[in-house]
Structure 1
Amino acid sequence: MTIPRAGAVGNLAGLARRGFLAQTERLWRTHGDLFEMDLGVGGLLLAVHPDAVREVNLTQRRSFDKAASYDGVRRYLTGEGLVASTGTLWRRQRKLMAPLFTPKAVGAYAEAMLADATRVRGRWERLAADGAVVDMGEEMMELTAAIILRAIFSTAAAAEIVALKSQVETMIRYATARMGPHLPDAIPTPSRHRYRRARAAVHAFIDDVIAQRRALPADEVPRDLLARLMEARDADGVPMAESLLRDESITMFFAGHETTARTLSATWAALAANPRVAARLHAELDDVLGDRTPTLADLHALPYTLQVVKEVLRLYPAAPFYVRDAVEDATVLGHPVAAGTAVMLSPYWTHRHPDFWDDPEVFDPDRFTPDAEAARHPQAYHPFATGERVCIGNHFSLLESHLLLAVLAHRFAPRMVGRQPAWVMEGTLSPAGGLRMRIATR
């Protein structure tokens, strides 16, 4: 039995007319849990069933990797950073960095998260008094950028953080644009010039910080992620090369900034659209915290708050699709897959699969009680991917989202201005036209 195939002409027309999310849904409903999409310049398989997620990420892990599909990310953004590296280098870097991202290790950054959340809370008090309307996406981008950059470079000044955020986001936009049809790099376009300037500035900043750190006495080096990367040694006692320190710093910002901001933005939209969920969240926060600002120690007593975050990650995963390349012949759902084939997995659609989720479009945080989680197919939920290449920053992101939501939702209930947004695929899952909300106190 052959894999169903969506031909190039009809598929490209559908993509242009409907957008990526709507077109992939149409193809999934028509062709089932595994089908081929012809994109005109090459095809890929899209696999939705949780069994396919398990095969690609776990049981056939050695047959799939981040190969040709990630060439653009490596070239334009992360270099040999952990997100896109492969083989021996990836295994070495993962082993070196894993201790920095355990649940216990990321707890060391809770104080910095709280400081930035408290700063935003004060600003929102003033905005609420004025009845101000904000783009919630931009609000959350600024907040998560400040947190991750301070976690990496604790000595960076506020102005440096603003500049670095802008420069890395310029690099991300350029790298994202390179994934579709684009002019050759040799053509000197304005976006190419902006990218080159931004890349040079980011590299110069990181190289300068590393040089400054090396000149400091050991007892004066701040205990941030960069310092821990610089101290890391492999089994042979070899540290990371300067270029890898830079690549991993950029990777940590790239992977730990926009995705968490998208999650938090979607959380505010979901709470505004689901008042009963919001009321239950607020009741938990009030019961546990009273008038206090939450601390890291409070989070274990705020399980429903975390369930809200997890349900947002189900319906609105910041990375709605990710690709693994077959590096040798393999099978997916019983079908042969030739080496070189790109297989796209979709948390967005797997999380809506009716065989594994009752009323999948309904926002219901009770899907993430301990009993409900234990009873579900382990790969029916994979917002951070799964297996060996699960996102190393997943604990950092969950802690950050849990803590920031607790701080801000304790005091505020932002209201949607206009209709609920349509969500579109723009590298990450994004609200079309922005996310205009009025800051309101409870």
Structure 2
Amino acid sequence: MKAPGPGLFQFIRGVKQRGFLEFAGKQWREHGDVFKVDIGRRTLMFVMHPDAVERVNLSHRQNYDKRASYDSVRKYLIGDGLVTSSGELWRRQRKLMAPFFTPKGIQTYADLMIRDTARLVERWQGLAAAGTEVEIAEEMTFITASIILKAMFSTETMESIHQMKDAVGTMISFTDTKMTGVHLPLWVPTSRNRKYLAARELVNRSITSLIAQRRATDEANWPDDLLSRLMKARDEETGQPMSESLLRDESITAFFAGHETTARTMTFTWYALAANPKVTERLHEEIDRVLGDRPLAAEDLRQLPYALQVVKEVLRLYPAAPFYVRDAVAGDKIGGFDVPAGAAVMLSPYYTHRHPQFWDDPEAFDPDRWTREREKARHDHAYHPFAAGPRVCIGNNFSLLESHVLLVMLAQRFTPRLRPGYVPQWIMEGTLGLGNGLPMTIAAR
């Protein structure tokens, strides 16, 4: 049975008028948990039900992979890193890298996160004293870029952090636009093409230089960062290390995935807290009870569960990746509807997380959804902000730890306040964003 859905021109007009995110939600309400759009020879299948999330990511995962839908990301952003690789290459790389990203493995970075956030606390003290309005997304992007660059490369200079953050931001923006519409090839010297090529050259040159410098140093003197761990890793079967190109691709992937999404999560966290003062009050009560006026230590995080519940609820209502794609490599059925081979299956954390069959009052911001009892009672795949199954985001534990640290340390000292009259304009350009930014004033507690 063929799935329902809008015609091509209705889809194009709807996306133009409403934006992709809002129009997809409208179609979901009209057509149900499975609907499709045919774009030429390509079919987009939108699936919202948790059972479909489980089928695509787990029970029938052999029918789905990352193929044509990821070509632009491979070509213009991260090459054959974990996010885009498939088949045997992905299995080998995942096995090599998984030990570095377990809950135990990422604890080694907790002190780095605390140290870097303490520097941001100092900066915010000045902003609070001056009453200066800031763009909170910029604040969060810089701190997460700083943390991941230090965790990966032991990079400490502000200049190099700014350069890498800006260059990767340019590459992400360019890749987002390449995924839609028709664009001139890279050899045409448009200003956008030149800016992208310069950013890509800077990133590739910087990482290649870091790898070369590391190889020129006695291994006993290598810092204990992610690059050293990747360089030392050996395939269990062949004993071979990663190739130079894979080291570069995985480094870019880790930086891209390790700061962009967490920065957005933290940006949306400050909006959610400003919009929900009772949640903020309860968060402050927990932090004050556990820490008082003393600095956070990594072992304190276990005593701060409500702060983590706040992060999880932000990831529910405002997932940084509101959609992700799996390409059907063989025909299948989802919810009784045909999925043709080659279809791009659009899974949506944004709308699955709002499914009224699985979430009470789904639009409400309620961190109490994340008590242990309520989590256990919920459908296993009603929540998938980091995807699910074997291809769940390898950096999910790193991101949760970083978000937990940032929230506790900043909320201990400050209460960011929205500009009077501010109304968020949620948009989707690859990732979830705020079309009108997030201007806030930092108030000291």
Tell me the TM-score range normalised by the shorter chain.
over 0.9
SS in 1 for 2:444: coil
Q: Is the 8 A contact 1:63 1:328 kept in 2?
A: yes
The reply to whether residue 310 of structure 1 matches residue 298 of structure 2 is no
- Map of 1:27-426 to 2, 5 A cutoff? 27-39=27-39, 42-185=42-185, 186-235=187-236, 236-417=238-419, 418-426=421-429
SS in 1 for 2:170: helix
Can you list the C-alpha shifts for 1:344-398, whole angstroms capped at 9, x where unaligned? Answer: 0000000000000000000000000000100000000000000000000000000
Report which stretch shifted further, 422-431 or 313-322: 422-431
Identity of aligned residues (%): 58
Quote how far apart the aligned CAs of 1:37 are. Answer: 2.1
1:429 corresponds to which residue?
432
Quote how far apart the aligned CAs of 1:338 are. Answer: 1.6
Report which stretch shifted further, 125-134 or 332-341: 332-341
| Distance in 1 separating the partners of 2:41 and 2:422 | 37
Report which stretch shifted further, 36-45 or 127-136: 36-45
SS in 1 for 2:346: strand
Quote how far apart the aligned CAs of 1:42 are. Answer: 3.6
Q: Is the 8 A contact 2:145 2:165 kept in 1?
A: yes
- Residue correspondences, number: 442
Report which stretch shifted further, 193-202 or 315-324: 193-202
Q: Calculate the TM-score normalised by the size of structure 2.
A: 0.98
Q: Is the 8 A contact 1:12 1:40 kept in 2?
A: no
| Distance in 1 separating the partners of 2:314 and 2:374 | 16
| Distance in 2 separating the partners of 1:124 and 1:3 | 51
One-letter identity of the residue aligned with 2:423: Q
Can you list the C-alpha shifts for 1:217-275, whole angstroms capped at 9, x where unaligned? Answer: 12210010000000000011100000000000000011111100000000000000101
| Distance in 2 separating the partners of 1:155 and 1:189 | 32
| Distance in 2 separating the partners of 1:275 and 1:160 | 38
Q: Is the 8 A contact 2:3 2:337 kept in 1?
A: yes
| Distance in 1 separating the partners of 2:40 and 2:125 | 51
Q: Is the 8 A contact 1:325 1:342 kept in 2?
A: yes
| Distance in 1 separating the partners of 2:277 and 2:31 | 36
Q: What is the root-mean-square deviation of aligned Cα atoms in Å? A: 1.1
Q: Is the 8 A contact 2:42 2:342 kept in 1?
A: no
SS in 1 for 2:173: helix
One-letter identity of the residue aligned with 1:140: M
| Distance in 1 separating the partners of 2:360 and 2:371 | 15
Q: Calculate the TM-score normalised by the size of structure 1.
A: 0.98
Quote how far apart the aligned CAs of 1:14 are. Answer: 0.8
Quote how far apart the aligned CAs of 1:423 are. Answer: 1.1
| Distance in 2 separating the partners of 1:37 and 1:409 | 44
Q: Where has structure 1 moved over 6 Å in runs of 4 or more?
A: none
Quote how far apart the aligned CAs of 1:2 are. Answer: 2.4
| Distance in 1 separating the partners of 2:30 and 2:155 | 54
One-letter identity of the residue aligned with 1:281: L
One-letter identity of the residue aligned with 2:243: A
Report which stretch shifted further, 419-428 or 92-101: 419-428
| Distance in 2 separating the partners of 1:431 and 1:197 | 27
Quote how far apart the aligned CAs of 1:38 are. Answer: 3.6
One-letter identity of the residue aligned with 2:285: A
Q: Is the 8 A contact 2:3 2:338 kept in 1?
A: no
One-letter identity of the residue aligned with 2:33: D
Quote how far apart the aligned CAs of 1:334 are. Answer: 2.4
Quote how far apart the aligned CAs of 1:40 are. Answer: 5.9
Can you list the C-alpha shifts for 1:155-193, whole angstroms capped at 9, x where unaligned? Answer: 452211211111111111111110011323143221111
| Distance in 2 separating the partners of 1:333 and 1:436 | 43
